[in-house]
Structure 1
Amino acid sequence: MAEDSGQERTEEPTDKKISDARKKGQVARSKELGTTFVLIFSAVSLLLYGPDIAKGLYNMMGRMFTLNRNETYDTTKMFSVWGDAFSEIIFPLSMFVLIIMVAGIIGNTLLGGFNFSWQAAAPKPSKMSPMKGIKRMFGPQAAVELVKSILKFVLVAGFAILLIKVFFYEILHLSIEQIPGSIMHSLEILAWMFLALSCTMIIISAIDAPYQSYNHHKQLKMTLQEVKDEYKNSEGDPQIKARIRRTQREMSQRRMMQEVPDADVVVTNPTHYSVALKYDTEKAGAPMVIAKGVDELAMQIRKIAKGNEVPIVESPVLTRSLYHTTEVGDQIPQKLFTAVAQVLAYVFQLKKFNKGRGKRPVELRKDLPIPDELKH
């Protein structure tokens, strides 16, 4: 999409982008780093187990070519001789191979970590396309590989010439040494030269590993449009989310309106606010707010309250305080107990009077006891 739109990849890759890339097998890898580990540890293991391997080979060859007359004519003796011969070389050779295997795993996972992807392992027609293959051959990555190859050749060749000069007389001296000492000595020289040549790869790896990490990060960079699209896909379309929120709000309001007929009283600020209260001593120790609203919603609450003969009491200060300090389903604040108790007492007395069971209550006080910190 970035290529089609012409936008530059200026944005840092998101966690999702990095995670998706790992699932596809796209992680930073340095072949030179893996090769360096394998070569250096091969040389080290050769120094550690090379003498044992050489000694085992020498003894094995000696055993195989020194059969006595009885062993020669015994058709079953061959297998036991092979077992004796190979027993001396199995352990050092196994350790040699094991060290190389561990070095290969560490070297190839040191940059980018361990990662296995079925998507990367699956065959892709694009990898078999001749045109894309030619494009890769003459692309920037191919140029980098060419430079690395030239640099490797120059370094290894230069160090090889230097090492030959350093070990020149020692190599010549091998011709007058006795066997098996000459074999051991030659292997020692070979191992040290191998280690020195392998160490030249450290220079290549020190350049290649940071470059591969930088190049991988650069390839994962995103355009601004890609970041927006990813956010939209992961978080959802803002318009759809707004529609969902609106629907949820409407459903909540409908449920709230269904509770208004059960209210004991609706306190109002005649022009803007309405709060419906219910006092159920069996379920709650204090009156609860079962509905509230402003403007049009406040008018609807008053309309439903009138239609269901729920008392409506005008108390602007108390109504605003209840609206701003509580949510639907909350009990009223303790500091408003006295004020709300006076309202409920007035309402209950008014209900008795309307049923002919008592005298008309005294008009509700306008200055209900509302703490200053709860006034709005």
Structure 2
Amino acid sequence: MAGDVENEDRTEEPTQRKLDEAVEKGDVARSQEIGTFFVLCGFTLALLVAAGSSARDATLSLRSFLMNAHQVSDDAGALFHVTSKGVMTGFAIMALPLGFILIAAFVGALIQHKPLWTTEPMMPKFDRISPMAGAKRIFGKEAWVNFAKGLAKILVVGVGVWIVLWGERDRLQGFAQMDVHALLPAVLVLTIKLMAGVLAIFAVIAIGDFGYQRFTWYQRQRMTKQELKDEYKNTEGNPEVKAKLRQLRAQRARSRMMAQVPKATVIITNPTHYAIALQYENGQGAPLCLAKGVDAIALKIREVAGEHRIPIVENPPLARALYATVDVDDEIPVEHYQAVAEVIGYVLRLKRRRA
């Protein structure tokens, strides 16, 4: 019941980080039917390529042994030699077919997922020895689904084999009167035809099972709302902390900006809502924006300017335009050169008169 409640709480789609962590732990979507299908493909390919040569080699070896069996001594050394030779001959005959099957099994595993090395599945876990967890694995929903899939697979494959053999019933009746040399090729042809039918059925089963395994794996990775919040905090940081950091960065930026106001040549205002501090010296390419702000920041800029006797010029259109188009520590845009030049010219003339 606890597991069902937990699954019901997992209502959120898994994040990419959650999926990646599952793969790193070795939890991937894997279908046994895909592996079975490729093993059957390897077996069928071995029949097509190596069945004839393997049968001939086995026949020659067995004939040679039977013809010379009377020459084998009954002492332990001779028996060991004969046994070892027989085992090595058997391995040599079966090497090529087994090679096809092993390669096919490797391809079946590789096609489902790239090679992965992890020690997570080998780590001791309590649920592996827990009686409740064991009972759940045996009598749970997944166990019943696997049981139903197994029955359906046996039924479908059995029907397919019966259809193939029923179509060959006349040939099967003739096998009893067939010569041994002709019997083996006939059996091989029938076996390959039978494997072709089985492979066609298993191809459909494997594709359907892989889709089902992929779906159940994705559902297993779903997250609760709390897990989603915790992951967001771990990856993106606590929202409250981030807001505090943004506030501190903004305060430091304002402090650095206010420290530059005393260097300004003129302050252009709205007069109450906007304030832009500009600096211009002889030989400078274009006026530079040292500070800008609205409302409270604009008021602070004007206070600092008043303390350092920096001229303040009211020009609402120019103040709004500069605030919208220029950033702090950047030169003003070309389209404002003339208007700003008139203001700075006025300020410089005013300074000369005071001097």
TM-score after normalising by structure 1: 0.78
| Structure 1 pair 202–324 and aligned structure 2 pair: CA distance change class (3 A) | closer
Give 1:14 shift: 2.3
| Structure 1 pair 196–91 and aligned structure 2 pair: CA distance change class (3 A) | farther
Aligned to 2:324: 324
How many residue pairs match? The answer is 351
The residue identity in structure 1 corresponding to 2:300 is Q
Aligned to 1:122: 123
| Structure 1 pair 211–70 and aligned structure 2 pair: CA distance change class (3 A) | closer
1:68-111 CA deviation, whole Å, 9 max, x = no partner? 99999xxxxx9x99999999987874442232223213333444
Distance 2:340 2:291 in 1: 15
| Structure 1 pair 312–194 and aligned structure 2 pair: CA distance change class (3 A) | closer
Residues 1:277 and 2:278 are matched in the alignment: yes
| Structure 1 pair 135–5 and aligned structure 2 pair: CA distance change class (3 A) | closer
Aligned to 2:347: 347
Aligned to 2:218: 217
Structure 2 unmatched ranges of 5 or more: 74-78
Give 1:297 shift: 1.3
Aligned to 2:57: 56
Distance 1:92 1:68 in 2: 21
Aligned to 1:31: 32
1:35-67 CA deviation, whole Å, 9 max, x = no partner? 122123312321221111101111223344556
Aligned to 1:254: 255
User: Contact conserved, 1:36 with 1:205, CA < 8 A, in 2?
Assistant: yes
The residue identity in structure 1 corresponding to 2:326 is T
Aligned to 2:152: 151
Structure 1: which 4+ aligned runs deviate by more than 6 Å?
1-6, 68-72, 80-92
Tell me the SS of whatever aligns to 2:223.
coil
The residue identity in structure 2 corresponding to 1:348 is L
Moved more, 173-182 or 118-127: 173-182
Distance 1:332 1:27 in 2: 57
| Structure 1 pair 23–274 and aligned structure 2 pair: CA distance change class (3 A) | same
Aligned to 1:366: none
Give 1:31 shift: 0.9
| Structure 1 pair 127–82 and aligned structure 2 pair: CA distance change class (3 A) | closer
The residue identity in structure 1 corresponding to 2:298 is A
Aligned to 2:76: none
| Structure 1 pair 5–42 and aligned structure 2 pair: CA distance change class (3 A) | closer
| Structure 1 pair 163–312 and aligned structure 2 pair: CA distance change class (3 A) | closer
The residue identity in structure 1 corresponding to 2:312 is I
Tell me the SS of whatever aligns to 1:323.
helix
Residues 1:15 and 2:16 are matched in the alignment: yes
Residues 1:242 and 2:243 are matched in the alignment: yes
Distance 1:234 1:19 in 2: 14
- RMSD, matched Cα: 3.7
User: Contact conserved, 1:260 with 1:304, CA < 8 A, in 2?
Assistant: yes
Distance 1:261 1:206 in 2: 74
Tell me the SS of whatever aligns to 2:313.
strand
TM-score after normalising by structure 2: 0.82
Residues 1:290 and 2:298 are matched in the alignment: no
User: Contact conserved, 2:58 with 2:93, CA < 8 A, in 1?
Assistant: no
Tell me the SS of whatever aligns to 1:274.
strand
Percent identity between matched residues is 32
